[in-house]
Amino acid sequence: MDSPKRTWEYPKGPFEGQETLPGSSSEPPRTHTHRRKTKPFLAMVAVLTVAAIQLTVHSWFSKTAERSPVMNLTDDPEFDWYALEPSKDIQWTPCYSGQRCARLLLPLDYDTPDGPTTAIALRLIPAANQQKRKGAILVNPGGPGGSGTEFVGRAGQNISRIVGDSFDVLGFDPRGLGASTPLASCFETNSQRALWQLQDDQRLLNLTNGGIEMRRARDRMLAARCEERIGGEWGIGRFMSTPNVARDMLEISQKLGQDKLFYWGFSYGSVLGQYFSAIYPDKVGRVIIDGVYDALNYRAALWNTNLADIDAVIDSFFQFCHEAGPERCNVYDSTPAKIRERYMDVLRRVEQDPLPIPLAEPPLVVTQKVLVNQMFRASYSPLAAFRYVADTMHAIETNNQSALIALAPRLVPPTECKCADSPAPWFADVEGFSTIACGDGDEHPYDPETYAEYFKDLSETSSLVAPLWGVYYLMCSEWKVRPKWRWTGPLAAPNTSHPLLIVSSKYDPVCPLADAKAVHERFGGSALLVQNSNGHCSLSAPSLCTAKHIRAYLESGILPDPGTVCEVEELPFVGQVKDVRVMSAEDARLLEALEGLSDVVPMFGPM
């Protein structure tokens, strides 16, 4: 759905094709039938802070998972990662009800192979059909800073059903993160970090309200603390760069007996996939990058292409609500424009008079920043999250305190005092985003005139979301820990040992289609698959067409024809656009897996 760029004003007041798979098209057929229940959206929104918004198959595979030694520890859901003895070879241990876990020792610095090490946590869901097993597909959920082992816990079974029963699905925690050690933590405890985050400024960033000065002060504090705790000659912060993680993926693959990488990376995982394919073009087995941020813009630490399509995604909220009608959208109105006008009225209302919810647990005040952030985060997964924006808007319009109390945990994450009950280290937050993203990026010390021009340009792209996204440039301008290995070579390859598959939503809130097209041009032979949907990465909307292309690519190396556009099975508010009763049993099972993934859409930025 094409949508012109808008200035958000308050009312005066985002391959070598051999065959075409079923479901591919250029125009969306919309035969609306029934809809499934929208599932709960996990951790949809948060008050925006730098710390809290944290943006493969042929016979060469050997059956390493079968021949690797399997130790007998525990399969308890409360699995103790640190009870696993790290090893220079992959020693699988039963874990998490039929899965396998390991900790792999790799050099902290590949230039010093006998020096300090990092232990990389691995979590594998074995292929359902071990007789036809073809190898392991590594997955990365984005961030940077996302945990691959945790992602496999939330999404791995559904991903297994999409890629087929002949593949293992393997999540890993990049160095410094999750259950990998050492951890990139700049705070002594999770509670200490949470208390720091509670001090965040509740004003939306602009050039005149003093918010930039407060943002910079907080960024300087974090930078200084991280320089002290994870910097230094052998500090983990100096060895977490994306090229290091790309090398780790190569090492993991080869220790599994796979000469080439099979990989599916989402969001920042698309950047990681670009780095790997540029540095090791002869080691590409199958590489899928999904929800694509142009690694050139990322490496320049500009963060200024991301919002190209965010307003189109937000506009789809008003369009789909109107299209669905009053029975399916509780803020329905006679035109999309009227719904939009009412939403902007709500924003202006809380700007002028922030709304207290005194009986929420804990009590909170709804500010303009809270609501803008809610819409922004909902744009990542409209299918799962737009309903909560509508519910919030309706509750505020009708002054329904009971509804607002119920919605409060989806507006601001509840804060609990757990000073004496710290989570296991692999569940704790760390400073992964700033360490990786700012470390990978070009240095650009803060200059007020340069930033003012940057912020104005960002606001012209999306005046609503620019105050949220503009913090990234500021954060990196104050960052001090620089990586020992920073890739400055080409982020392109005229040829790779197998072409990349590049997947993009038509309208992605933070990784626009234009970026995917730019990357497609730089990697020779690659294919671009467009999914006609709104949301972040293909997981944000179920598409049998997309899933079948991904499976064909992984299993047989088949690339979509140029210009392929896949339609989706369900739209926000509207519901399913195809009748599941006429689907084959296999398609119905695949759709069920896809619907499960709409709740676990990767978040680009600090998590």
Instruction: Please tell me the least confidently modeled range out of 51-65, 450-464, 511-525.
Output: 51-65
Rounded to an integer, what distance in angstroms lies between the CA atom of residue 553 and that of residue 61? 16
Average pLDDT on 23-47 reads 37
Rounded to an integer, what distance in angstroms lies between the CA atom of residue 46 and that of residue 298? 24
% of residues, the chain, pLDDT over 90: 78
Report the SS3 class of residue 405. Answer: helix
Report the SS3 class of residue 206. Answer: coil
Q: How far is CA 537 from CA 27, 365, 502, 603, in A?
A: 20, 32, 11, 10
Mark 159-189 as b/e (b = at least 16 C-beta within 10 Å): bbbbbbebbbbbbbbbbbbbbbbbbbbbbee
Structure-token match 């006679």, residue found = 334
What DSSP assignment string belongs to 474-543?
Answer: HHHHH-----S----S-S-BS--SS--EEEEEEE-SSS-HHHHHHHHHHBTT-EEEEEEEESSSGGGS--
Average pLDDT on 198-204 reads 88
Cα 541 vs. chain centroid, distance in angstroms? 14
Q: Is the pLDDT of residue 495 over 90?
A: yes
519-551 pLDDT, tens digit each: 999 999 999 999 999 999 999 999 999 999 999
The answer for residues whose C-beta is within 8 angstroms of residue 237's C-beta and 6 or more apart is 176, 184, 226, 227, 230, 231, 435, 439, 481, 483
Q: How far is CA 150 from CA 37, 141, 318, 470, in A?
A: 25, 9, 34, 29
DSSP 126: -
Coarse DSSP helix, strand, coil percentages of the chain, rounded to the nearest 5 percent: 40, 15, 45
Instruction: Evaluate whether 468 touches 376 at the Cβ level (below 8 Å).
Output: yes
Average pLDDT on 182-206 reads 90
Rounded to an integer, what distance in angstroms lies between the CA atom of residue 227 and that of residue 208? 30
Q: What is the pLDDT of residue 421?
A: 64
Cα Rg of the chain (Å, integer): 23
Strand order of the sheet with strand 261-266? 24-25, 565-566, 527-534, 501-507, 284-290, 261-266, 135-140, 167-172, 117-125, 99-107, 93-95
Per-residue HEC secondary structure of 579-601 comes to CHHHCCHHHHHHHHHHHHHCCCC
Q: Where are the beta strands (DSSP E) in 267-382?
A: 284-290, 355-357, 364-366
What DSSP assignment string belongs to 162-183?
Answer: HH-TTEEEEEE--TTSTTSBS-
Containing 409, the helix (H) or strand (E) segment is helix 401-411
341-379 pLDDT, tens digit each: 999 999 999 999 999 999 998 899 999 999 999 999 999
What DSSP assignment string belongs to 209-266?
Answer: SSHHHHHHHHHHHHHHHHHHHH-STT-GGGG--HHHHHHHHHHHHHHTT-SSEEEEEE
Rounded to an integer, what distance in angstroms lies between the CA atom of residue 94 and that of residue 138? 19
Q: What is the pLDDT of residue 588?
A: 92
Q: How far is CA 225 from CA 219, 286, 431, in A?
A: 10, 40, 11
**With bands split at pLDDT 50, 70 and 90, how would you rate the model's confidence at 199?**
confident
Count of other CB atoms within 10 angstroms of residue 104: 22
556-585 pLDDT, tens digit each: 999 999 999 999 999 999 999 987 778 899
309-350 pLDDT, tens digit each: 999 999 999 999 999 999 999 999 999 999 999 999 999 999
Q: What is the pLDDT of residue 92?
A: 97
CA quadruple 534, 40, 272, 224: dihedral, nearest 10: 110
